[in-house]
Structure 1
């Protein structure tokens, strides 16, 4: 018995020694991040083409670089002529600034209201049939691709000078911008509530009102507030082509070299835009906090 035990122990020891644990000395390094990897040949070709087109454009436009050297002198003339700003026409310019804000707000409201049905038709989960969704997305893309300044020129030609042209230009621009984001948010709505309502026999309008719009309301509001900021900035420029607002006053001030009046207008625009951004951010933060609280409950 002792001999068998000793043989078994010896055999076990011998077997353990005959199969030692070998650790691999190879070290597997992680792949470098994409920004450190060598660019592909196609990427280099594209960069070369873009650089070549840019250089060709500089050559073709025949830019007078001597004018660039005179730039600092002209800027200094503007600064010395603009400081201090002229406040004699503050009341008149305030009315023009108020008109600019009104153009932006009215145009944004019209654009947002039109964006909701347009988005419902463009979203694949709410459209009556798929080809209509593709057609509506094409329309929204077209509206968004054309700058608001071009829309202002079109509507100035159509309805004449004044704030109406600016309102229509803002409304169309917001429709193209907000309609796209509204449609994407509608498509992200969870299918559960929609399918549950449809299983009870609810119609399409009931599904939209009771399931789709409540789920997308917070996103719709955030996008709409951003559209207000965007529209106020855009409305200040639309006046330069006769679409109402303070932009026309700014163009006139520069044309007659009243730089002190131009500086006052710029400061007014800056103050209104910053105020709109702060109010919009505050409302979005409050809505986001309320939405998170609702989800937690």
Structure 2
């Protein structure tokens, strides 16, 4: 081995050691942040956690056996929750698609439109559904309407963000070919951009529907109707057997929605 080759080999080993050191430092920083977070929320308070175990066991005993005696009263709220999740997903897709085209760097017509669209998406994503629900219940009254609006508007922020990222990562060749053929901006988007991202958009839409159903179940906490309203009512009167029954019904519904979503994803892929 020549001196020059040996020197290059030494430099390579040194670079690898530095890379390993940097990775270890990054992992150490993450671990420290996690441990600090555990401490701040009380996860390292072993005495308090140990004292909570008997209370948890006692609560589970009070929830058994589940009480389905009023199950007939949950049918309409369940359908309300399902309808809420579907309507919220439709709202999310309807608003996300145009916003994502404005928020993607390769399809936005102007930098100002890009900034405004990004700001709207960030704003909608930053407000939790429950906060939106409280505001909308005060605005339009109780029922499924404020729940659908709250879940839908919050979903716009997340769905629009994913749509915009997919659009920004499309392959440029079809776009360049359409532009070379004389297509205008709208035609380029319709014929070259959307066909590339529709499968990913479909996946996000179906996954978001699954999430929206789960989110819709808790909108009853703010008076937005659905099965969550029945759950909160049972909790308020400390009827834990009915609570466990409603939770089981919600679990079954979430499983059915997830399964149906997976079926649609396979059929439409």
Normalised-by-shorter TM-score class: 0.7 to 0.9
Cα distance in 1, alignment partners of residues 96 and 190 from structure 2: 15
191-200 vs 167-176, which moves further: 191-200
Please give the per-residue CA displacement for 1:27-59, whole angstroms capped at 9, x wherever unaligned: 98974696776744x98678767766875776x
Aligned residues: 257
Per-residue deviation, 1:211: 1.6
Tell me the residue number matched to 1:266: 247
**Greater share of helix:** 2
Larger Rg: 1
Task: Determine if the alignment matches structure 1 residue 83 to structure 2 residue 64.
Answer: yes
What TM-score do the two structures reach when normalised by structure 1? Answer: 0.76
Distance 1:271 1:91 in 2: 16
Describe the shift of the 1:48–1:174 C-alpha distance in structure 2 as closer, same or farther (beyond 3 A): closer
Report the equivalent of 2:238: 257
Give the whole-Å Cα distance in 2 for the aligned partners of 1:157 and 1:69: 41
Aligned-residue offset at 1:287: 4.1
For residue 217 of structure 2, what is the aligned residue in structure 1?
Answer: 236
1:212 aligns with: 193
Q: 1:192 aligns with which of 157, 162, 173?
A: 173
5 Å-filtered alignment, 1:1-297, equals 31=16, 39-40=24-25, 70-288=51-269
Question: In 1, distance between residues paired with 2:98 and 2:114?
Answer: 12
Structure 1 53/244 Cα, relative in aligned 2: closer, same or farther at 3 Å?
closer
Q: Which moved more, 1:111-120 or 1:82-91?
A: 82-91
Gaps of 5+ in 2: 1-5
TM-score (norm 2): 0.83
Measured against aligned partners, the alpha-carbon deviations of 1:249-294 in whole angstroms (never above 9, x if no partner) come to 1111112111111011100111111222222223334444xxxxxx
Judging changes above 3 Å, is the alpha-carbon distance between structure 1 residues 32 and 225 closer, same or farther for their aligned structure 2 residues?
A: farther
Q: Which runs of 5+ in 1 are unaligned?
A: 1-23, 289-297
